[in-house]
Amino acid sequence: MATSGGAWSWALCYWSIFTQVWIVFAAEEILLDTRSMSTLGGWTTYPVSDRGGWIEVSNINSDGHPVRTYQVCQVRREDQNNWLRAEWIPKRQGRRIYVEIKFSIRECRDIPNVVSCKETFDLYYFESDYPDATDDSPAWNDRTYTKVDRIAADGRFSHVNTEIINTEVRDIGPIFKRGFYLAFQDSGACISLLSVRVYYKVCPTITEHYAIFNKTVTGPSITSLVQAEGQCIPNSEPVGRQPTVQCTGTGEWTLFTGSCRCLPGYEPQRTVAQRCDVPKIFSVLSMVQVKVKSIYGCVCVGLRTTIVAMVTGRFSVKNAEQSS
């Protein structure tokens, strides 16, 4: 029977393993990030810029580097319908896509001679297998595109307040085609679209329970669970069935099952199992290795203990059997 100290060590070991699940943060696979783009030449506006609507301008980001952004402010005309479409974005392995938008909006009451003014804009997307959009296709209307949400600003700037930057994140999908277009519709607001970042989430590669779980793309919905099968680290083997873990829709690992253990004569060392540092003469004691295997997670630890016991004259196979 195991001692109380051994039971406490076992419990502490497994407690630490499972608490690590919640500190492994989701990773992101970037599909588009305008902050690192020197031009937005693949973006399209409707109507074209010389007839009003969205215009491309130069700006300076928080790091002091020049970037290209879009802005619109047609508040002195009625019935505004200004569209901005991003370039075609291949989804790669992503199924649920996230869109992070940084923008600023001016308060309507701060603008003189306003005819029609709003403090929101709409986000849409359109799925497509190929980058085949033109100036006229897909049609610029809310029946052709799929609406994601109406985006409102938490903070708005005026001539007396400094510019306030808002950050909003929306998710779209699942995406079934090879890629998609994002579109922004303005109906009469003063907006500066500062940056757009598009990505999907993955559960990152980790090593737990002596098993390696490779990077796994999250499922098509927030509540999806994607099962990943682990591969035992070199020189180890599964304990029973192959270890598995679930990748949540938010990119976190949870619900570990199964584990791996070292092969006889090896001990864990980070992400591999290395040969034990014991005299070769004791490697023939296979019977002893089998007896201590059920007591220790790695045979090497038991083998070292056995060697010490044999040298001090306190070891017997019968005692090892009773302890197991």
Question: Measured between alpha carbons, how far apart are the two ends of the chain, in Å?
Answer: 6
Q: Average of pLDDT values for 181-208? A: 96
How, if at all, do strands 211-213 and 206-208 pair?
Answer: antiparallel
Same domain assignment for residues 38 and 100: yes
Pick from 38, 152, 140: nearest CA to 85: 140
Boundary-marking domain end, from 171, 201, 231: 201
Same domain assignment for residues 135 and 174: yes
* Domain, as residue range, for 242: 204-275
Boundary-marking domain end, from 185, 201, 217: 201
Confidence band for 316, pLDDT divided at 50, 70 and 90: very low
What residue spans of the chain are helical by DSSP H?
A: 4-19, 286-293, 299-312, 317-323
In-domain check, residue 317: no
Same domain assignment for residues 160 and 108: yes
Given a cut of 80, whether residue 295 has pLDDT beyond it is: no
User: 89 forms bridges with which residues in the sheet?
Assistant: 180
The total of structural domains in the chain comes to 2
Q: Is 143 exposed, middle or buried (0-12, 13-18, 19+ CB in 10 A)?
A: exposed
User: 257 forms bridges with which residues in the sheet?
Assistant: 244
Same domain assignment for residues 90 and 124: yes
Check residue 290 and give its pLDDT. 40
In-domain check, residue 262: yes
Provide the token pair at 229.
């099968």
In-domain check, residue 2: no
Same domain assignment for residues 60 and 191: yes
Check residue 127 and give its pLDDT. 98
In-domain check, residue 55: yes
Express each pLDDT in 33-47 by its tens digit. Answer: 999 888 898 999 999
- According to DSSP, residue 35 is labeled G
Question: For residues 221-245, b (16+ Cβ closer than 10 Å) or e, as one string?
Answer: eeebebebebebbebbebbeeebeb
CB 213 within 8 A of CB 230: yes
Same domain assignment for residues 177 and 226: no
Confidence band for 63, pLDDT divided at 50, 70 and 90: confident
Predicted TM-score of the model (pTM): 0.79
Q: Is 220 exposed, middle or buried (0-12, 13-18, 19+ CB in 10 A)?
A: middle
